[in-house]
Amino acid sequence: MCLKGKVAIVTGSTSGIGLGIAHALAGQGADVLVNGFGDAAAIDGLCQDIAARHGVKVAYSGADMAQPAQIEGMVAQATRELGRVDILVNNAGIQFTAPVHEFPVERWDAIIAINLSAAFHAIRAALPQMRERNWGRIVNIASAHGLVASVNKVAYVAAKHGIVGITKVVALETATSGVTCNAICPGWVLTPLVQKQIDALAERERLTPEEARMRLLGEKQPSKEFATPEQIGALAQFLCSEGAAQIRGASLSVDGGWTAQ
Ligand code: NAD
């Protein structure tokens, strides 16, 4: 229980990878502020589940990561309700695909706000108290698309490359302190965000769901297996441990070999 007494914010943790990370950190004893959208009763249920399974305190914020004032409010709420913020996981993210000349300006703005600017706003709100206590962990969920590109994902690829950049700057600015900042770069993980892309592919190419899943993996991920939220959670957990104290500004791939090609 190496995170007992610590408090973690995990943005976008009502689903997918964020939920996996919230469980992994709570599993090491951290109290957790859950954030994200969804059905109120379902969110209430998953917060109770995290609290009961791991014996930790759980708070919930419905802050919209596209709104800087709400992001500041979320950090203030975690500090007020859970006592402090030691760990910040910037995970909330959305996707939209279209060629650059057809990409809706409104989708560009939303993806840059949620997938990129939100991390800046959350870090600037949470970092002062981490610096004060000389301990903190910032984990940014980037993507294989933070390191390489694909067609039709101009906003997502720009935002995720930006996340890798923010990660390096914050790591350098905190390099002589007990605060570290790193990025995790997942390949395909089977979450609602990816299921939408599988459904679109199946419809476009008239494939069965299984054929579409295999086509998606086959194009990018040499292992031909999805990474899992639990695997991403396990790496986030390690980055929060003392063993990772000198991992700084790194972008760590969990991508089945995607970016080794
Ligand atoms: P998901 O759709 O399952 O979960 C996204 C979460 O973000 C949900 O909790 C949702 O409510 C929340 N969210 C969305 N918009 C929000 C907003 N405006 N304010 C607050 N919360 C908001 O997606 P996922 O696949 O778990 O993705 C999580 C992160 O991992 C994203 O940053 C994504 O880019 C990244 N990622 C995913 C994959 C993958 O294959 N699934 C690969 C690489 C990176």
Confidence check: pLDDT of 104 > 90: yes
Please work out, in degrees rounded to the nearest 5, the angle formed at the alpha carbon of residue 68 by the alpha carbons of 230 and 28.
25
* Model pLDDT for residues 19-40, shown as the tens digit of each residue: 999 999 999 999 999 999 999 9
DSSP-based three-state secondary structure for 35: strand
Is 156 a known active-site residue?
Answer: yes
pLDDT band at 172 (very low <50, low <70, confident <90, very high): very high
Q: How far is CA 110 from CA 6, 38, 95, 182, in A?
A: 32, 18, 9, 24
pTM for this structure?
0.98
Mutate to test the pocket of ligand 1, among 88, 91, 163 (most ligand atoms within 8 A of CB): 91
Atom of ligand 1 nearest to the CA of 186: 43
Interval between CA 97 and ligand 1 midpoint (Å):
15
Domains of the chain (ranges; CATH) run 7-187+227-249 (3.40.50.720), 189-226 (no CATH)
Mutate to test the pocket of ligand 1, among 9, 189, 254 (most ligand atoms within 8 A of CB): 189
Interval between CA 103 and ligand 1 midpoint (Å):
20
Spatial CB neighbours of 236, under 8 Å, sequence gap ≥ 6? 21, 24, 25, 89, 139, 184
CB atoms within 10 A of CB 135: 16
- Looking at residue 61, its pLDDT comes to 98
Q: Which residue is catalytic, options 60, 108, 156, 226?
A: 156
Confidence check: pLDDT of 1 > 80: no
Confidence check: pLDDT of 140 > 80: yes
